[in-house]
Amino acid sequence: YMRSRIGGNRDGCRQAAVKIRDSDDTTVLFESRFESGNLMKAVQVGEFEYELYLRYDLYTKRNTQWFYFRLQNTQANKRYRFTIVNFFKSSSLYSNGMRPLMYSVHDAENNKIGWRRWGEEIVYYRNNLTAPDNPSANMYSLTWTCKFPNDNDTYYFAHCYPYTYSDLQDYLNGIQGDRVKSQYCKQKVLCRSLAGNFVYMLTITSPPALSPVPEQQLKKGVVISARVHPGETNSSWMMKGLVDFLLSDSADAKLLRDTFVFKIIPMLNPDGVIVGNYRCSLSGRDLNRNYKTILKDAYPTIWHTREMIKRFMTEIELVLYCDFHGHSRKQNVFIYGCENKHLPKERLKERIFPAMFGKNDISKVYL
């Protein structure tokens, strides 16, 4: 898959690595050479049983959690078993009832059914493999069985609902093409990624002509970002929900636009998203651990984000920065913040927004 390059092919490779011999051949055809796909190898260990190996994040020997791949030549009502054998984490929400996601092309086209939780006999367990970068560390497997509903269908499995870089581009184009929403949302390119992809930044606020605030500088600033970890696709869906709300015609959204200037970076790590990484960029490093970097060329998205925030703070009072993530082992919605153990006033200040957030939605618990 070459989309991570400027001018690269947006489509996956069309030629299968394995060919079906005849109509009696029950071999499943696996493919992940498409945007955000990351299956490295499939080994058939029984007629309807396969061991799967995920590709590590590029230029690393770790970071397997996200998965996304395609299957063809499956048979309806046959029980298949799939086992992903090279996870690193010792625990998982799959042990607490979570199931993989499955997508049927036939059901989507004919019955308007999208992604759905699928699979039975789901077990997450330690196996006999050892980590490639640490022979003393065990690896873990996720196994499940399932029956497919249709013959002659194409299926996909994923760890979480996919949200690709192309999805983001289509979404932003839709906003720009909307005469009303585009009044409140201005788009620009913050920078280019290592692979040359655009890193977009949105500015959402009421324009001066529509704002009751007489002086633009009286507004407060808010910065929100997402998808620094490419495998945490739920962060992109949260970001989409936030932007949809801020650009809506609700009274609360109008009040927020009149009161704040929102700087939004919806995808901090587009290269990682494109190639199907779980955690890292094409530098082979976790961008979320490099906000203090001075290496502009190695971490351009982080460097430019930090510089943008510095400039923004000279123009306006910044009251909130929030970075959207997902979590592979915790449930529900929660907020991490700065502890400031030795600064009591700051420690209290950091807890104001989580407390307000919890009180405004009875389904959220403030901890």
pLDDT for res 358: 82
Q: Is the dihedral of CA 12, 302, 247, 239 positive or negative?
A: positive
pLDDT-based confidence at residue 367 (cuts at 50, 70, 90): very low
Rounded CA separation 35/274 (Å): 5
Q: Give all domains of the chain, ordered by start, each with its CATH number.
A: 29-158 (2.60.40.3120), 165-331 (3.40.630.10)
- Over 80: is that where the pLDDT of 18 sits? no
Contacts of 178 (CB under 8 A, 6+ apart): none
Counting Cα atoms < 13 Å in the Cβ hemisphere of 207 gives 8
Write the CB contacts of 328 (distance below 8 Å, at least 6 apart in sequence): 65, 89, 92, 93
- The pLDDT value recorded for residue 14 is 58
Instruction: Please give the angle made by the CA atoms of 40, 45 and 50, to the nearest 5 degrees.
Output: 45
Lowest mean pLDDT among 36-45, 160-169, 253-262, 349-358: 349-358
Q: Please determine, for residue 352, whether its predicted confidence score (pLDDT) is greater than 90.
A: no
Percent of the chain with pLDDT over 70: 92
- What is the pLDDT averaged over residues 34-58? 97
User: Tell me: the pLDDT tens digits for 323-350?
Assistant: 999 998 888 888 888 877 788 878 888 8
Spatial separation of the C-alpha atoms in residues 233 and 231, rounded to whole Å: 6
pLDDT at 133: 86
Q: In the predicted model, is pLDDT for residue 4 greater than 80?
A: no
Please compute the mean of the pLDDT values over residues 221-227 and round it to a whole number.
98
Residue 91 has pLDDT above 50, yes or no: yes
Query: What pLDDT score does 5 carry?
Result: 46
Distance of alpha carbon 223 from alpha carbon 225, whole angstroms? 7
Q: What is the pLDDT of residue 223?
A: 98
Per-residue confidence (pLDDT) for residue 257, from 0 to 100: 96
**pLDDT tens track for 53-80:** 999 999 999 899 999 999 999 999 999 9
pTM: 0.90
Residue 276, CA atoms < 13 Å, CB-side half-sphere: 23
**What is the arithmetic mean of pLDDT over 203-217?**
74
